[in-house]
Structure 1
Amino acid sequence: MSTLLRIWARFEEGFIAFLLAAMTLVTFVYVVLNNLYTLFYDIADLWEGGNEFFSAIGDFILDLAQSMTWSTALTKALFAWLLFFGIAYGVRTAGHLGVDILVKLTPRPVQRVLGILACLACLIYAALITVGSYDWVRVLYTAGIGAEDLDHFGIKQWHIGLIVPFGFTMVLLRFAEIFVRILQNRQTGLGLADEAHDVLKLTEHEEQK
């Protein structure tokens, strides 16, 4: 079981890196193409002997740029996948910010009780979103509506929306793991990020240098 968890953790990190790289690459290529064709038009205007040659290159790049109208829609879809996939990853890695200054002022048993209540609230919320988004994706699947600017690639709206129930299912599982750890006294809260604590540690480390 631990091996499968490690494999999934690696997959999470690799998939998030892939989404970020794909978003960056698509945006970079689109921006370059939209600014590169003017360079060849300018060269064609300056160099009379190569006017037709450089103009042809400029026309070719301009056609490529105009044909990439799908790039914005694809970037939005990739960002949506990154967002909903990253929510569960943030829960696992304590990446979400916590506002628990008052909770930490209470005794440890009280912190544990508050942690259980907070975790139950998160579980209920994640379960509601999972069920609701599943029904939403089922409606999109039945309708068969194509995704904006991506329909000619065979991509439907339900393909993009599928990440919502999947992502919140993962969130549900992550909070279930936290709930079990709290019941086992292995932690007291949700394990959220503490910026103030991180700043203090960083300051102490700098002073030691």
Structure 2
Amino acid sequence: MSQSKPLPSYLITRYHGWKATTYADNEPWYRNLATNGQNPRAMVISCCDSRVHVTSIFGAEQGEFFIHRNIANLVPPYNPDGEYHGTSAAIEYAVGALKVAHIIVLGHSNCGGVNGCHDMCSGHAPELEEKTSFIGRWMDILRPGYERVKDIEDETERRRALEKEAVLVSLENLAGFPFIAAAMDQGLLSLHGLWTDIGEGGLEHYVSGTGFAPV
């Protein structure tokens, strides 16, 4: 692979700092994880956005969360068509192999993917309508959510409502996976929807029947 290059020096420096401090102070724990494998209690599906740092929000250590990140923290509908499905594969592994007790979908403020969906669905981003747009086709998952909020007059409120719809659409799609439905029926799995305000550090959770509320 001739295109691959060595790591930038600043990342190498940071790695050596981590190895000499965090790793050195917790070496037995890391070796335990390596030997005995992972046993996370929860899976978190969050956005790729670099400002969303799940482990920091919950003060989590290595081995606590099975984390999957994608554009706008979306879960596609259940569709075993034999094609590539990275998110669905991660969910299948979390539930089937790791036996997680919780799946958490975490949305956030000022989401670029959600804003792209808003602009596409409102006719202001024709480039995302192209079949060749990976982002556009991925954000098609959120179109049902846009239909539910499109009549909100204030644009800022509409975009924020769509961010929360990204969480709700994902929860609805999760419930459509047969192995998730079966695990929930047996009391082995629960689904949770969260939304975080990056600037304020706020966290809201979805409460069925009432909507999102501060935790």
**TM class, shorter-chain normalised?**
under 0.3
Give the helix-richer structure, 1 or 2: 1
Which of the pair has more CA radius of gyration?
1
